[in-house]
Each structure stands twice: as structure tokens, then as C-alpha cells.
């Protein structure tokens, strides 16, 4: 049980859309990056699915642009405790991309990696079933470089470090393999409603 802090009452009322420990960032969309935001040339951009799949598939910018997109509207939550309500996104369901590659029966996890080398791990179940997208647009316009443009992963039901910026592909695995922040102490799954911020939460 947390220890009560003398004199602390907190801000009220709490918005029911806020997971525990989060605050509403309002109109702002904070940028958090551990490295320089890369300038990615869409002429050379690719997205690849590899690993435990029937066939490895790689899409070019034009090829991926021809796939049908979906819109997703909702809230996002960052482990650094801000949440942003009512965002509008569009992208390609990860289900559609995985279906093209055909994960093998023993596939249970993915590592999503970026064009800059950043990695994060996700259970396959968290990027399938209509819960994850390869996103190109947010708030009605193309994703800016700072927010992961030209394309990032969108896994809005998990803390946002899982939604890899400048995403380059998914590696499908049988075993969980911690990514960049996970090896630095962050949780392997990152459910904001269960406050899975750090290892052991």
C-alpha cells in the first residue's frame, strides 16, 4: 500500500478516461525521444515482417500506400504520466499486414523495431484482433517527424513507448524478447489501466 503523503489531496475531479497515475495533457502532445528524430526518405522507406512467418514480406512506401486504411479515434497514454484524449488516427490494421506474412502456429510475440534501431516487445495478441495499426496520420494530417512520421506503430491500449516511432518492421518470435526500454527497467507489457510501468509492476 502506498504511504499517505502529509498534506497531499491531489486534484479533483478525476476524469474517468484517465488511467491511474495519469494526467490530461490537454491540447499538448509531448514529444519524448532518446535520439535525434531521423529524416526518412519515403523513396527508400520499407516495412518488413519477418521471423516465424510462412513468408517474409516487405512493403515499399507506394505498396503500403495502396492498402486499405482504417480510422481509430481514442485516447493515448504515456508512461511518463500524460494522457491525451480524443485523438484521431488513421492507418493499416496490423492484422492485415500479419495476414500477408502468415505467422506460424508457435508465434507468440513480436519485436517492433524502428529505422533508427529502437526496439520494443509485444505479445502477438496485443497487436492483433483490431488493436494495433501501422499509422500514417494523426489529428487529420500526416505524422510529423517528431511524432514518428512517416509511419509509426499505434497500440493505443498500451503505454505509448510500445507504439514505435519511425517503425521499420515486426520480427515474429516464439519467446518474449525485451526491447530497448524493457531492458532498461520498463515493463514487458505496459497496460496503463494496471499501471504496468516498470519491471515487477
Partner 1 sequence: MSTDPGTRPTTPRRTLRWQAATVLGIRDEAPAVRTFTLGLEEPAHHLPGQYYVLRLTAEDGYTAQRSYSVASAPDGRPEIDLTVERLDDGEVSEFLHDVVVPGDVLEVRGPVGGWFAWTGDSPALLVGGGSGQVPLTAMLRHARAAGRPDLVRMILSVRTPSDLYYGDELHVPQVTPVFTRTAPDGSARPAGRLVLDDVAPLVRGGETAYVCGSPAFADAAAALLAEAGVPDDAIRIEQFGPTGS
Question: Under the rule (CB under 8 A), what is the footprint of partner 1?
Answer: 2-11, 14, 20-21, 23, 25, 27-38, 80-82, 113, 115-119, 139, 146-147, 178-180, 182-185, 197-200
Nearest CB to partner 1, comparing residues 25 and 107? 25
Nearest CB to partner 1, comparing residues 126 and 182? 182
Phi, psi of 167 (to 5 degrees): -60, 140
**Interior angle at CA 135, CA 118 and CA 152, nearest 5:** 10
Nearest CB to partner 1, comparing residues 62 and 146? 146
Tell me how far, at minimum, the Cβ of 198 lies from partner 1, in Å.
Answer: 5
Paired with 91 in beta bridges are 70, 135
Q: Hey, what's the cell of 128?
A: 492483433
Tell me how far, at minimum, the Cβ of 148 lies from partner 1, in Å.
Answer: 13
Residue 45: count other Cβ atoms within 10 Å of its Cβ. Answer: 17
Nearest CB to partner 1, comparing residues 30 and 65? 30
Closest CA relative to residue 169, chosen from 69, 82, 56: 56
Nearest CB to partner 1, comparing residues 129 and 185? 185
Residue 108: count other Cβ atoms within 10 Å of its Cβ. Answer: 15
Tell me how far, at minimum, the Cβ of 37 lies from partner 1, in Å.
Answer: 7
Tell me how far, at minimum, the Cβ of 129 lies from partner 1, in Å.
Answer: 26
Tell me how far, at minimum, the Cβ of 81 lies from partner 1, in Å.
Answer: 6
Closest CA relative to residue 17, chosen from 9, 26, 8, 6: 26
Closest CA relative to residue 150, chosen from 77, 53, 59: 59
Amino acid at each position: 500500500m502506498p504511504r499517505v503523503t502529509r498534506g497531499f489531496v491531489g486534484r479533483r475531479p478525476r476524469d474517468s478516461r484517465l488511467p491511474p497515475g495519469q494526467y490530461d495533457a490537454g491540447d499538448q502532445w509531448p514529444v519524448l525521444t532518446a535520439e535525434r528524430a531521423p529524416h526518412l526518405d519515403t523513396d527508400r522507406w520499407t516495412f518488413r515482417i519477418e521471423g516465424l512467418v510462412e513468408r517474409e514480406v516487405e512493403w515499399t512506401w507506394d505498396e503500403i500506400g495502396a492498402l486499405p486504411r482504417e480510422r481509430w479515434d481514442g485516447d493515448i497514454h504515456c508512461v511518463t504520466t500524460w494522457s491525451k484524449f480524443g485523438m484521431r488516427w488513421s492507418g493499416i490494421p496490423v492484422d492485415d499486414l500479419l495476414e500477408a506474412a502468415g505467422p506460424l502456429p508457435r508465434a507468440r510475440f513480436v519485436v517492433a523495431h524502428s529505422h533508427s534501431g529502437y526496439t520494443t516487445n509485444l505479445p502477438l495478441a496485443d497487436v492483433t484482433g483490431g488493436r494495433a495499426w501501422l499509422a500514417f496520420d494523426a489529428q487529420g494530417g500526416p505524422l510529423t517527424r517528431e511524432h514518428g512520421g512517416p509511419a509509426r506503430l499505434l497500440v493505443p491500449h498500451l503505454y505509448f513507448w510500445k507504439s514505435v516511432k519511425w517503425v521499420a518492421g515486426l520480427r515474429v518470435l516464439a519467446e518474449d524478447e525485451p526491447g530497448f526500454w524493457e531492458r532498461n527497467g520498463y515493463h514487458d507489457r505496459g497496460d496503463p489501466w494496471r499501471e504496468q510501468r516498470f519491471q515487477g509492476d
